[in-house]
Amino acid sequence: VNALLHHTGGNLSSIDQGTRPGILHRLDKDTSGLLLVAKNNISHRRLAEDLKERKITRIYECIVYGFFKEKQGIIEAPIGRDSKDRIKMAVHAEGKYAKTYFRVLESLKHGTYLRVKLDTGRTHQIRVHMHFIGHPVMGDRLYASKRKHFGLEGQCLHARELHFMHPRTGEHMKIQTPLPSWFTST
């Protein structure tokens, strides 16, 4: 946030007066990739409404432990705070509805490279859903703490693309960012 404030000269929306001014789509610690940030309150409100109505597409790429028989799938499982570890989230009946789509891009030596699309946006959603189906994100020290991390600096989870309507012009925006080098060398 401090870097964004410096870059914009302090011109970010003030809707969230707390620690995240302007930020609509944020990332978990050790996740790389794109953020969605609003510079003014009008844009923030419009983008927040689009996010709520699932009009913004968020596509991630990740490497997970294990291999898949199927080429794609959908995970629909409610997510809430883990009752045993308050830092973690978990799949449980009292959680909020969560839906994640995944598609296998490539089988690798130590796991599988996936493209993941969020339908909902729960805290740690991809990490929790992948852990739930037995394929935690490689390098995830919270949900795959007992797995070998192959010297990774972070987890192999990257917010690769955002698709949305520009809040002022109505133009369709497709923003992409390349994978970090440490991710591609795994």
In the annotation, is 119 catalytic? Answer: no
Residues 70-85: b if buried by 16+ CB within 10 A, e if exposed? eeeeebebbbbebeee
Tokens of 149: 């991390």
* Residue entry with tokens 């949305």: 164
10 CA to centre of own chain: 26
Residue closest to 118 by CA, chosen among 21, 37, 46, 31: 31
Show the tokens assigned to 176: 């992409």
The whole-angstrom separation of Cα 28 and Cα 41 is 24
57 in Cβ contact with 117 (< 8 Å): yes
Q: Say how many C-beta atoms besides its own lie within 10 A of residue 23's C-beta.
A: 18
- Neighbouring CB atoms inside 10 A of 99's CB total 17
Out of 16, 28, 82, 119, the active site residue is 28
Residues known to be catalytic: 28
